[in-house]
Amino acid sequence: MRGAAFLLAGLLLAQTAAADVTPFDYQLGATQVTEDGQQILIHAAPPLTIAILPGGHNWPLLSLGEDGRIYAGGKVLDAATGQLLKQSDATLLLAHGVEVTALSGGYRVRREGRECHLTLAQLRLGPGKTVLQNLQDGNLMLTASENGLLALVTQFGAQGRADNYRIESIDARTCKVTLGKNLGNPDLLIELGHSAKGGWWLTGSIEQTLLRSSDGQQWQPLKLPEGLSSLISSYVVDKDEIWLAAILPDDMPSPYLLVYSGDGGRHWRTLLQDDPLLAKVPAPWLEGQKRRIAQP
C-alpha cells in the first residue's frame, strides 16, 4: 500500500470511516487481515468481519493479547493459525479469561468460573445511552490484567461534551469497585492500554497526551516530543521502550508514521524506510502492526 493511502487510513481510524480507502493487507501473527476504512476482514477459519464505526471505533471491539491471541468481541482467535479458540455469548472476551456481557442496566462479568454484575451506577455512567452503546461509542473502555479489570469512564457535561474521565478498578470475580480515580479532563482520551512490563497507559489525541501508571491509581504524564501530532495510539513495552502511532516533524519522510523511544521518552525518533526497528514493533499492538507494512 502507498504511504499516502496509509496516512489516510490511519487518520480515518481516528476520526471517521465515511470515505473510501484503498484496501490494504497486514498480518496479525500469521493471520492475514484486509482493511478498507469501513471494515476489517480477518481471514480466519471461519472469516470474521469487524465494522469500523463513525469515530473510528471497531465493533465488535478488536484487540491483541500478549498471549498471541486476537480478541474480537465474543470470539478469540489464535493469531498463529487463524483458528477459532473460543466463542461465547459474552459481548467481550478479554485477556486473562475475562468475559463481559452487556445486560439491561449493567454488565455481567465472568472470570475463573465466578460471575458478578456491574451496574451503571457503580461505573458512574450517566443516562442516555444503553449499556451496549457505551461500549460501542468508547464511553466505557475495559482492559484486563492478570490482577483485575480497569475501566475508563467518560462523563459528559450539559452540552453533551466530555468534561471528566474516571478510572475504576474492578475485581473481575466480585465486581467490587475499589477505586474511583477522577482524572479531570486532561485530553480527549481514546485508548486504555496495558502490558505486563509496561503497566497501564492512557492515550489522548487532541493535546497529544500519554499518561502512565504502574498501579492504575496514580497517573503521570509523559513528556512527548515537541511538534508531535496525529497521536491515535501508544504502546508501552516497559520503562524504556515506548511506541507512538503519530507524526513527528523530521527532515526525512516516514511512510510508517511510527515514533519510537528506547530510553523512557528522553529521546524520540521517527521510523524511516527499511528501519530495523520495524521488526521490533510489539506483536500485541494492533495499530503498530497495521503501520509497519506501509510502502513509500
Q: What distance in Å separates the CA atoms of residue 148 and residue 170, rounded to the nearest whole number? A: 6
Give me the pLDDT at residue 10, please: 45
Give me the pLDDT at residue 295, please: 53
Beta bridge partners of 293: none
Burial class of residue 44, CB neighbours in 10 A (0-12, 13-18, 19+): buried
Average of pLDDT values for 60-70?
96
pLDDT band at 20 (very low <50, low <70, confident <90, very high): low
Give me the pLDDT at residue 162, please: 85
Q: What percent of the chain has pLDDT over 70?
A: 93
Q: Would the pLDDT of 12 be above 60? A: no
Burial class of residue 41, CB neighbours in 10 A (0-12, 13-18, 19+): middle
Average of pLDDT values for 92-109?
95
CB count in 10 Å sphere of residue 269:
17
Beta bridge partners of 246: none
Q: What distance in Å separates the CA atoms of residue 237 and residue 256, rounded to the nearest whole number? A: 19
Give me the pLDDT at residue 262, please: 98
Average of pLDDT values for 198-202?
97
Q: Would the pLDDT of 248 be above 90? A: yes
Give me the pLDDT at residue 3, please: 38
Q: How far is CA 35 from the centre of its chain?
A: 17
- 20 vs 35 pLDDT, higher one: 35
Handedness of CA 111, 117, 118, 122 (dihedral sign): negative
pLDDT band at 83 (very low <50, low <70, confident <90, very high): very high
**pLDDT tens per residue across span 154-176:** 998 877 788 899 999 999 999 99
Average of pLDDT values for 112-139?
90
CA proximity to 143, closest of 102, 196, 183, 221: 196
Q: Would the pLDDT of 235 be above 80? A: yes
Q: Within a 13 Å sphere around the CA of 78, how many CA atoms are in the beta-carbon half?
A: 7
Contact (Cβ atoms closer than 8 angstroms) between residue 197 and residue 238: yes
**Mean confidence (pLDDT) of the chain:** 89
Q: Would the pLDDT of 267 be above 50? A: yes
Q: What distance in Å separates the CA atoms of residue 156 and residue 158, rounded to the nearest whole number? A: 7
Share in percent of the chain as helix, strand, coil (round to 5): 10, 45, 45
Average of pLDDT values for 91-109?
95
CA proximity to 135, closest of 62, 207, 184: 62
Handedness of CA 282, 294, 38, 57 (dihedral sign): positive
Give me the pLDDT at residue 161, please: 83
